[in-house]
A and B are shown apart, each in its own frame.
Chain A
Amino acid sequence: MNGLRIKFLRGEEVKYISHLDLMKVFERALRRARLPVAYSQGFNPHPEMIFGLPLSVGVTSEAEYADFGLEGNVSPADFMRRLNAQLPAGLKVLEAKKKFAKDNIMASITMASYRITVSAEGHFDREFLQEKINDFIERPTIIVKKETKSKVRDVDIKPMIHQLCLGDSEEGTFTVNSLLSAGSSANLKPELLYDAFADTFGPGIKLKAIHRTGLFVSRNGVMVDPMDDRVLEGTNPKR
C-alpha cells in the first residue's frame, strides 16, 4: 500500500493532550487539509494512521512519528506542507517521507531517549551529581513497583536502562539524559525511571519536565532513526 511516515514535534502548548485525543487532533487536521488518506471500512470509518510510542500527558517531544496509508497521490513535501497548515500551535511536522516497508512505526520501535529536567533545592556540583547517577546505575538490580490493572509487582528496570548520563547543570536545576527500552517487548517509562532515581537520590529534588529526544527502530540489531531510507524502503535482508 501507498504510505507515508512523518516525524513531528509536540510542544508545550499541546503537552496535556492524551494520546487518544492527539489522534483525534490529527484525524481532524487531515480532514481539514483534505489529504487523500485511506479510511477503514465499516460504520465508523477511521483514517489509516499509526502512531509511534504514546507519550505520557505532560511530556514534550521533538521526535514523534506516525505512519499514514494513502488513497491517492500526494508528495511527502505536499503532505507535510498541507498538514502543517492545519495543525494547532505546538504540533509541527518536521519531515515526511514515502514508506514502502510493511513494518509500522508502533511495532518497530525498540528504544527511546529522554531528557529529564530536575529542579534542585540549592546547588549540587557536577561531581556530586555524577556520583549519584553512577551509584544508581551501578547497582546490580533496580527494583521498582509497577502497577498493572489488577496488581502491583516488582520489576527490575536495570536491563531497560541503556544509557544514563548527566546533561547540563546549573543553580537550581540539572538534566539527565537517558536511553531506555521502548516498544512492545520491553518498555520503560521515564517517569518510572525518575521515581527510582529520586528514591536513591534522597530529598531536595523534584521532577520538572520530561522531553523525548529520540525514538529508534532496530535494524539488524543496530539502532536506527525511523526516517532512515533503509528502514522506509524495507530492504532489510533478514539474515
Chain B
Amino acid sequence: MSLNDRISDDILRSVEKPARYTGNEWNVVQKDVNNIKIRFAFCFPDVYEVGMSHLGMRILYHLINEREDSWCERVFAPWVDMEEKMRENGIPLFALESHDPVGIFDFVGFSLQYEMSYTNIINMLDLAGIPIRTADRTEEHPFVCAGGPCSCNPEPLAGIIDFFILGEAEEVINEVLDIYKEWKENGAAREDFLDRISSVEGVYVPGFYDVQYNGDGTVKSVNPIKDKYPRKVRKRIVKDLDNVYYPEKVIVPFTDIVHNRLMLELFRGCIRGCRFCQAGFIYRPVREKNPEKLVECAKKLEESTGYEEISLASLSTSDYTGLGELTEQLIEEMEPRKVNLALPSLRVDSFSLNLMEKAQKVRKSGLTFAPEAGTQRLRDVINKGVTEEDLINSVSIAFAGGWSTVKLYFMLGLPTEAFEDIAGIADLGKKVVDAYMNTPKEKRGKGLKVTLSTSSFVPKPFTPFQWEAQDTIEVLVEKQKFLKDNIKSRYITYNWHEPELSFLEAVFARGDRKTGEVLIKAWEKGCKFDSWGDHFKFEKWIEAFDECGVDPAFYANRKRNHDEVFPWDHIDMGISKKFLLKENERAYKGELTSNCRVGCSGCGAAAFGSSICIKND
C-alpha cells in the first residue's frame, strides 16, 4: 500500500487544518522520480504555516529544482494531532510533493531558524525512521544536513547533523549536489562523501573535529582529526546579489500562512551593528540589489502567483539606499494591478511616513519602534543609535499624521542594566503618551494605545555580548515586576516574554556538544514544539539537564573570560573575535561605533570583498 493510500480521508478528516498535509499548491514542482538522481527533502522543523513563510526555503526549493537531476520537496513538522495519527497508523514522515517517505531520500536538509526548534528536528528524524545520531546512520540512510542562522554555533547538533552549510547556501548546495552525484555513481562509502565535501568552502562536517575540554567544563580545543580538514570553517556568501538566482515563481499556499504575501529581498546584511543582534553580524557584509531588478522581479512574481500583496524583506529596510526609488516604482506598477505594498517597520521620519501614507493609502495600523533600552546610557551600551529625541519626534510626527497605536519593543537583562534603565522604559512610555496629548486634537487619531513589550536578552555567538551572562530567571521576573509597578498610565499596556524559554535559548545558542545529549533526552521526555506556549514543558527540560549531568546555568548565566575558547571558535562567520572583543569593551565605556556606511569599524567582513567595505577603505 502506498503512502498516499495510507494518509487516508479518515486521518485527514480527524486532524486540524488537513490542507497542511495535502500539497498540490499552485507552482508546486512535480517531477518523474525515474528521471531523478538526487532527492532532497527540505525540512522545516515547525508547522506548515510557519515554514512556508520562510523566504530562504522558498528560494532554495526552486533553486534545487532548477537542476534536472534533482527533485527538492518540502517537509514540515506535523502538528501533534497528525503525528499521533501517523504513529498510530505506521505512517512515516513524508514529503509534501510525492508523499513518499523521507527516509528514502538522498538528503534531508533542515533549516535552523531558532534554537527552540531543535527538538522538532529530532522528532522529525524519528518519525522518518532515520537514526537520530549521525553515528548510527549507514549507507541506507539519507545524509542529514542543516543550514540557517543557528548553524553559526552548530555544536549542540554536532551528534545529530552529518554536515552543516554555513552562510548562504545558493552556491554551496549545487557544489555539494554535484559531488554527491559523482560519489553515488562510484558507490563509495558514506564517510567518503563527507570527506569529499569537507573541502567545499562553507561545509562543516562536525564528525571530522575533535573537542577537548578543560577540567572546569569549558572548551580546551577543537581540532580537525586530519590535517587536510580546515582548522577554521568559513561561511560562504553570494558576492553579487543582482545576478544570484531568485525564483520567478513561488508556491501559493491553499491555506493561510504567517506571511501570506510576496517577499522581495532588498539586501543582505545590516550596516548597524547593534551589539546584542546576531543577525546584524553574521550576515555581513551588506550587499544590495538593484531597484530596477527588484521591480522586474516583483512583476514576474506577481504574474506567476496572483498574490495581492508584496512586502519588502530585509533586516533594516530603511537602510536600503534605493528605497524611495523602489517604492515609487513598485506602487506605480502594482496599483493598477490592485496589489498592495506592505511596508515592514521602518525607522520613522517624515520620509517614511510619507511613504507609508502612499503605500497603504491611509490605513492607519499600528506603528512599531524598537528602542530596545530605556535610557540613553544603555542604548549607547548596545550601540542602538536612537535617541529619545528621535523617538519622540517620530511618534509626534506619527500622531500628527493620525496614528494612535504605538508599540515599543525593549529587552530586559542587557549587560550593565540597572533599575534606573528599567524605570526608563516606563518613563519613555509616559513621554510617548505626553507626545500624543501635546498633539492638537483635530490632528491626532482617536483612542491612544501604547504597548510596551519586553523580551529577555539572550547572549548570542558572534556578537560583542557573546561573553556576557544572561540574568537568571528569578532576576528577570523581578525586573518584569519592577517595570509593571512603574507603569502608571492607563493608556499603556505591558507585555512580557516568559523568561524560561529565553533561558533555554541562551543555553543552546552558546551550547557545546555536551548539550546535544540534553536535546535528545528532553525529546525522549516528550519535548517538542517548545516555542508553542501550550507545548513547552520547562520541568521536563530541567529533568533532562539533571539526568545528563549538564548544568544549564553554566551556559546561560556564566560570564566568560576574554580568553575563553568558545565551542564555535572553529567556525568563521567573517567577524573577527578581536573586533567583537573591542566592541565589548566599547560597550562598557558606552562608546558608539559608526555604521558601515559612515565608516568601517574593521569587523573583518571586508575580506568578502563587498562594495560597501571597499568604499570605506
On A, residues with C-beta under 8 Å from B are 13-14, 16-18, 21, 24-25, 27-32, 39, 43-45, 57-58, 86, 88-90, 208-209
Choose from A86, A88, A209 the contact partner of B24 (Cβ within 8 Å): A88
Whole-angstrom distance from the CB of A181 to the nearest CB of chain B?
Answer: 24
CB–CB B306/A29 < 8 A: yes
Q: Do B18 and A57 touch (CB < 8 A)?
A: yes
Asked, given contacts A30-B306, A31-B337, whether A43 binds B361 with beta carbons under 8 Å apart, the answer is: yes
- Which residues does chain B contribute within 8 Å of A24, judged by CB atoms? 256
A27-B306, A28-B306, A88-B25 are known contacts. Are A16 and B361 too (CB-CB below 8 A)? no
Q: From the candidates A28, A208, A209, name the one contacting B307 in the complex (CB within 8 A).
A: A28
Known: A17-B255, A43-B360, A58-B13. A27 touches B24 (CB 8 A): no
Query: Contacts of A16 on B, CB cut-off 8 Å?
Result: 12, 18-19, 22, 254
Is B578 on the interface with A (CB-CB < 8 A)? no
Q: B270-308: contact bitstring with A at CB < 8 Å (1 yes, 0 no)? A: 000000000000000000000000000000001111111
Q: How far is the CA of A135 from the CA of B376 in the complex (A)?
A: 81
B393 close to chain A: CB less than 8 A: no
- A21: B residues at CB distance < 8 A: 19, 254-256
Given the complex of chains A and B, what is the CA–CA distance between A111 and B363 in angstroms? 41
B9, A27: Cβ atoms under 8 Å?
A: no
Closest 4 A/B residue pairs (Cβ): A28-B306, A31-B306, A32-B306, A16-B18
- For B338, give its contact among A39, A57, A89 (CB under 8 Å): A39
Residues of A within 8 A of B363 (CB): 43-44
- Do residues A27 and B308 form an inter-chain contact, with CB atoms below 8 A? yes
User: Can you list 25 A-B contacts (CB < 8 A)?
Assistant: A16-B12, A17-B255, A18-B19, A21-B19, A21-B255, A24-B256, A25-B26, A27-B308, A28-B26, A28-B305, A28-B307, A31-B307, A31-B308, A31-B338, A32-B303, A32-B305, A39-B338, A43-B360, A44-B363, A58-B13, A58-B18, A88-B26, A90-B24, A208-B9, A209-B9
Cα distance A88–B23 in the bound complex, in angstroms: 11
Number of interface residues of B (CB under 8 A): 27
Given contacts A27-B306, A30-B306, A43-B360, contact A58 B12 (CB under 8 A): yes
Are A89 and B24 in touch, CB under 8 angstroms? Answer: yes
With A31-B308, A32-B304, A58-B12: A14-B255 Cβ-Cβ less than 8 Å = no
Chain A contacts of B338 at CB under 8 A? 31, 39, 45
B614 within 8 A of A: no
Nearest A residue (CB) for B363 = A43
- Residues of A contacting B360 with CB < 8 Å? 43
Which chain B residue lies CB-closest to A32?
B306
B258 within 8 A of A: no
Asked if B362 is at the interface of the complex by the 8 Å CB criterion, the answer is yes
When chains A and B are docked, how far (Å) is the Cα of A30 from the Cα of B252?
14
Q: Which of A17, A25, A28, A88 contacts B308, CB < 8 Å?
A: A28
Contact of B455 with A by CB under 8 A: no
How many Å lie between the Cα of A92 and that of B331 in the bound state? 33
**Contact digits for B248-261, partner A, Cβ 8 Å, 1 yes 0 no:** 00001011100000
Chain B positions 460-483 with a Cβ under 8 Å from a chain A Cβ: none
Task: State how many angstroms separate the Cβ of B524 from the closest Cβ of chain A.
Answer: 33
The CA-CA distance from A24 to B306 in the complex, in Å, is 10
Residue in contact with B254 in the complex, picked from A14, A43, A58, CB distance below 8 Å: A14
Does B345 lie at the interface of the complex (its beta carbon under 8 Å from any beta carbon of A)? no
**Known A43-B360, A44-B363, A209-B9; 10 more pairs at CB < 8 Å:** A16-B22, A17-B254, A21-B19, A21-B256, A27-B306, A32-B304, A32-B305, A43-B363, A57-B18, A88-B26
For B610, what are the chain A residues with a Cβ–Cβ distance below 8 Å? none
CB-based contact B340/A86 at 8 Å = no
Residue of A nearest to B304 (CB): A32
Give the distance in Å from the alpha carbon of A206 to the alpha carbon of B102 in the complex.
Answer: 32
Q: How far is the CA of A28 from the CA of B304 in the complex (A)?
A: 10
Q: Separation in Å of the A31 CB from the closest CB of chain B?
A: 4
| B1-45 interface bits toward A, Cβ cutoff 8 Å, 1 = contact, 0 = none | 000000001001100001100101110000000000000000000
Report the separation of the CA atoms of residues A57 and B13 in the bound assembly, to the nearest whole angstrom. Answer: 8
Given the interface contacts A17-B19, A58-B13, does A28 sit within 8 Å of B361 by beta carbon?
no
B92-125: contact bitstring with A at CB < 8 Å (1 yes, 0 no)? 0000000000000000000000000000000000
Closest residue of chain B to A34, judged by CB? B303
Q: Shortest beta-carbon distance, B446 to chain A, in Å?
A: 18
